[in-house]
Amino acid sequence: MTEKSFLDRAAEYTYKELDRLGGDPTKLDIPLQTVAVLYTVQAIIDNGSFQYLFESNFPINVPYSVFIDAYRRIGSIGAAERLEKAVAMFPFANPHADQQQRVKFMETLEEDDGFFELGNEVCGDEKVWLALEDYAKKNAAAFPIAVN
């Protein structure tokens, strides 16, 4: 059995705190919020690019700026900028709040549309995971778990 990384253990702790606070990541301290948001968001993007992210609804639909800010905090500026550009392409305000409109809009796009290209550039980006792990370690005091 492989040993869990610091990031995996930090995420376990973070999700317990998230549950304790009713599932709203914005109620977490910034280091925990960053791990909670990106551990989930990047996994979704890795599975199906921005399309999967935008087809998804979260239990508490926070503005996409929360995700973008989290990418910036860990130093994944390229991912933040790509997500920000994709969000700006939605032809309506507050896209995080309307899953049906998001899906309807994406259905109007061609497969090779720049919208999807932005997501493809973030999908599978291992640097995001490395940066998130580094961020969690730099903020280790926020995660009361043993550091290896």
Q: How far apart are CA 6 and CA 51, in angstroms?
A: 29
| Percent of the chain with pLDDT strictly greater than 70 | 97
Whole-number Å distance between alpha carbons of 96 and 35: 19
Note the pLDDT of residue 60: 82
pTM for the whole thing? 0.93
| Number of neighbours of residue 54 by Cβ within 10 angstroms | 23
**pLDDT classification of 57: cutoffs 50, 70, 90:** confident
pLDDT band at 69 (very low <50, low <70, confident <90, very high): very high
CA–CA dist 147, 37 (Å, integer): 21
Give the model confidence (pLDDT) of 107-118 as tens digits: 999 988 999 999
CA distance linking residue 127 with residue 13, whole number of Å: 23
Q: Is the pLDDT of residue 146 over 70?
A: no
Residue with tokens 């305000």: 93
